[in-house]
Amino acid sequence: DNNVWIAPGPTDVRSPCPGLNTLANHGYLPRSGKNISVPMIAEAMLDGFNIVSEALTQAAKFGLLSSFALATMDLDALKLHSLIEHDASLSRGDFALGDNLHFNETIFSSLLNSNPGVDYYNATSAGHVMHDRLAISLATNPNTTNTPKEFAFRTRESSLYLAVMGNPLTGVAPKQFVEIFFREERLPIAEGWKRSNTSITDEALGAIDNIIMANSNWTFTQMCEDLVLGP
Ligand code: HEM
Ligand code: MG
């Protein structure tokens, strides 16, 4: 039953991605977190979140490079730095500072404290959070990698939390749902969350991305970086 959230057991593995972890914690992906194929991810994204995104199936293919297996990946291997994983994450530390895999409440405080005075996050607040998180990385991690690639991934991850926990057409998401998604990697069904009725498409995510980018006051630190195509 996919309504049932079960925390990962001692031999189960999880990723730096709250989306994939939530799908595994609800059984849309194997609860082991192991031997996951691209079609399994595509099916789980659709069933769990109503996501129909070519960009995300492409990201899933990218994820295969974290593994030596021919056609599957393990969730923990997705922490491979600079494949998809990047600095200035919303809820995880920078690779060079120690732990780029597990949820970190201190790092999450930028998002948690954003959009004060109202009970929702939106694309404007998400842009401000991206700016904050990058400023903190640049101030504390001399190895921060911040190229157009990281900016594109970070922006899309922000539109994703708004779209899956809120309204994919407006990019408005209840704070309570977003917090449960990051902290517990759980679908907040008991709190009133429902899977989006409208398909979450690249077009919808792109429209939210544009507002986020406009509010993130972003500049690059480097233009290109070492190419990471395997462990
Ligand atoms: C990061 C959501 C699918 C791999 C993230 C983050 C969010 C997110 C919100 C940012 C976490 C943070 O900054 O702390 C989602 C949702 C998905 C999804 C809702 C829909 C199912 C995928 C897919 C892949 C992937 C298909 C590739 C296999 C990653 C990785 C990160 C990440 C490696 C870590 C990036 C980092 O913060 O350093 N995801 N994601 N995600 N996602 Fe996903
Ligand atoms: Mg990261």
Contact 185 CB / ligand 1 (< 6 Å): no
Summarize pLDDT for 182-218 with one digit per residue, the tens. 999 999 999 999 999 999 999 999 999 999 999 999 9
Q: What is the pLDDT of residue 215?
A: 98
Amino acid code (one letter) for 214: A
- From 204, 178, 196, 61, select the one nearest 125 (Cα to Cα): 178
* CA–centroid distance, residue 17 to ligand 1 (Å): 4
Q: Does the structure show a pLDDT above 90 at 124? A: yes
Q: What is the pLDDT of residue 100?
A: 99
* CA–centroid distance, residue 92 to ligand 2 (Å): 6
Q: What are phi and psi of 98, to 5 degrees?
A: 130, -60
Q: What is the pLDDT of residue 126?
A: 99
Confidence grade of residue 225 (pLDDT, cut at 50, 70, 90): confident
Q: What would the mean pLDDT of 29-46 be, rounded to a whole number? A: 98
What's the token pair of residue 196? 């989006």
> How many angstroms separate the CA atoms of 165 and 49, rounded?
9
Q: Does the structure show a pLDDT above 90 at 1? A: no
Residues 6+ apart with CB under 8 A from 58: none
Q: What is the pLDDT of residue 202?
A: 98
Contact 56 CB / ligand 1 (< 6 Å): yes
**ipTM confidence:** 0.98
Helices 123-140/202-214 angle, 10° precision: 60
* CA–centroid distance, residue 225 to ligand 1 (Å): 20
Q: Counting atoms of ligand 1 from 1, which one is nearest the CA of 153? A: 35
* CA–centroid distance, residue 18 to ligand 1 (Å): 6
Residues with CB under 5 A from ligand 2 (ion): 85, 89, 92, 100
Q: What is the pLDDT of residue 2?
A: 81
Identify the sign of the CA torsion 187, 188, 194, 198: negative
Contact 50 CB / ligand 1 (< 6 Å): no
Q: Which fold has domain 18-214?
A: Chloroperoxidase (1.10.489)
Summarize pLDDT for 43-98 with one digit per residue, the tens. 999 999 999 999 999 999 999 999 999 999 999 999 999 999 999 999 999 999 99
Q: What is the pLDDT of residue 158?
A: 99
- From 8, 103, 20, select the one nearest 57 (Cα to Cα): 20
